A and B are shown apart, each in its own frame.
Chain A
Amino acid sequence: MLRAVAKVTAGRGDLTVLAVEGLSVSYGAIRALRDVELEAHEGMITAVLGANGAGKTTLLRTITGLVKPSAGSVRLNGTRLTGMAVEDIARVGVAHVPEGRGVIQELTVDENLRLGTLWRLGRSERRKAMEEVYGLFPLLGERRNRHASTLSGGERQMLAIGRALVSRPKVMLLDEPSLGLAPIVTAQLMAVLRDLAVSSELTVVLVEQNARSALSVAQRAVVLNLGKVVVSDDADVVAADNDLRHHYLGF
């Protein structure tokens, strides 16, 4: 039922929020990304799929400025991001939930969340935004004064996403959020993402090795292989293509 809703609203998500053009990245002699193109539209989840080492994480890290590309550009609503400092890219509205979640273990849940609000919101707004996230993830609210190290994997993922949301980003990039999570938790997670995209018109780029669950919530899918884009199409087209799935996605 929810999937049908997603498909109906897909029509209006034509505004390109994030545009990647001709992106190439090299580590010494290794070409990690070759001429990658990608568009992420408003209110849509774009899945980036591919085997290990295909360049998915490198793509995200280049978008958020942790890695400098050798060629190509990344634009957010027309503003050129390539060449900007990491923290400036974050302040323009790009929220990156990195591989491994990036939850700071030594801080409490509340502190982790507050960290996401600092640059953006005034003091009174910060608390409000944080309470909104607690409303979205009640489990976090219960554990707000506990150290992040005491959370389970799924809770940590909620925290990481909540922390990204609390700054009201324009684009959210998620790097393998399902890693290390049980299938049930992964399904819950994907449901949350889907709801967010629909309800708040959030633009999401979802890197996943678990292609099946990613394709179940995404509207668009891009498949990388050895640093190159081999497929860029609607998600259900990709999901339906058996050969493609077997060859690049392993199921």
Chain B
Amino acid sequence: MKLFVDVTLNGVANGMIFAAMALALVFIYRATSIVNFAQGAMGMFTTFIAFSLLDRGIGYWEAFAAALGIGLVLGALVQRVLIRPLQGKPELNPVIVTIGLLVVLEGLAGSIWGNSAKGFPPAFSQTGLTVGHTKIAFSHFDLFILGAVLTLMIATLLLFRGTSLGLRMRASAFEPEVARLLGVRVGRILTLGWALAAVAGSLAGLLVAPTASFSPYYMDLSLVFGFTAAVIGGLDSPVGALVGGLITGLCVSYVGGYLGASLQPLGALALLMVTLTARPQGIFARPEARRV
């Protein structure tokens, strides 16, 4: 029983991280209709930069903020330099470019910071909290994860629903040509979308780092699980990203807890395949409206 509780709590905490990744992917998908395969690697890169800053004595929260800020710039840069030139070309081209970026970033990180697994300090204590008389597998740090991702999700929802900018972003994603005809500077909006998504990715990178062996590849699995979470949730819904994240997190945690850690990716794969067979558009996707 204790195993079950621990594994469940672990699943929730991880699920929130996957939700953050999924949110980043959803953000970019909604803004640009592209899936950014380098999302995890970008988060990894900014986290490594934060790590360097910490090494030099910069305070934790300053380094944290710096990572998010650099992520913002990195996202905008990638969109302007690598993605915008591919506008109008076949759909697979940006996929391949982002895969290339993934690989370049991992190689660069390895070259700059070496392959040895270091430790990234967590923001809060990682020892389990005590509930009643038992220690559960949920720590202050896990609470922080929960809080941070929920904040992110609420901020995203508010942005999309409540602001003019959000309206412009949604219009640019749904009907970029119509948006341009209405005076929306779609190009800039798309760059901004990538920048904001990169912030979410950076956050994910910072949240995962303390729990993983800190190599250039540490975000690969998070990308994969985040992708699964996003697809399950319906790739155009922030709430879907959250729910998808939780489902994926729990599933992966159960597989890991009861079947072994090495089967986790295949567990995610199975989850993905089942969802795609039963409900291909994801749980929260709005029905595809057709233009008349």
Contacts and interface: CB of A to CB of B under 8 A. Distances in A.
B243 interface: no
Given A115-B167, A118-B184, A102 B292 contact: no
B168 A106 contact: no
Interface in B171-185: 171, 174-175, 177-185
A74 interface: no
A87 B183 contact: yes
A144 to B, nearest CB: 15
Interface string A76-112: 0000000001110011000110101110111100010
B289 A118 contact: no
A70 interface: no
B164 interface: yes
B177 A104 contact: no
B175 A104 contact: yes
Contacts of A105: 174, 289-291
B178 A86 contact: no
B135 interface: no
Contacts, number: 76
A87 B174 contact: no
Interface in B152-206: 164, 167-168, 170-171, 174-175, 177-186
A87 B186 contact: yes
Given A100-B292, A106-B286, A153-B292, A115 B174 contact: no
A119 B167 CA distance: 12
Interface string B243-283: 00000000000000000000000000000000000000000
A118 B181 contact: no
A116 interface: yes
B161 to A, nearest CB: 10
Given A64-B181, A106-B170, A107-B171, A118 B164 contact: yes
Contacts of A56: none
A170 B178 CA distance: 18
Contacts of A106: 170, 174, 286, 289
A78 B17 CA distance: 56
Contacts of B184: 87, 115, 118-119
A127 interface: no
A84 to B, nearest CB: 12
Contact of B179 (A100, A111, A115): A115
A120 interface: yes
Interface of A: 64, 66, 85-87, 90-91, 95-96, 98, 100-102, 104-107, 111, 114-116, 118-120, 147, 149, 153, 156, 163, 167, 180
Interface of B: 164, 167-168, 170-171, 174-175, 177-186, 286, 289-292
12 contacts: A100-B291, A100-B292, A104-B175, A105-B291, A106-B170, A106-B174, A106-B286, A107-B167, A107-B170, A115-B167, A118-B182, A180-B292
- A-B pairs, 7 with minimum CB distance: A105-B289, A119-B183, A102-B178, A90-B183, A86-B180, A149-B289, A91-B183
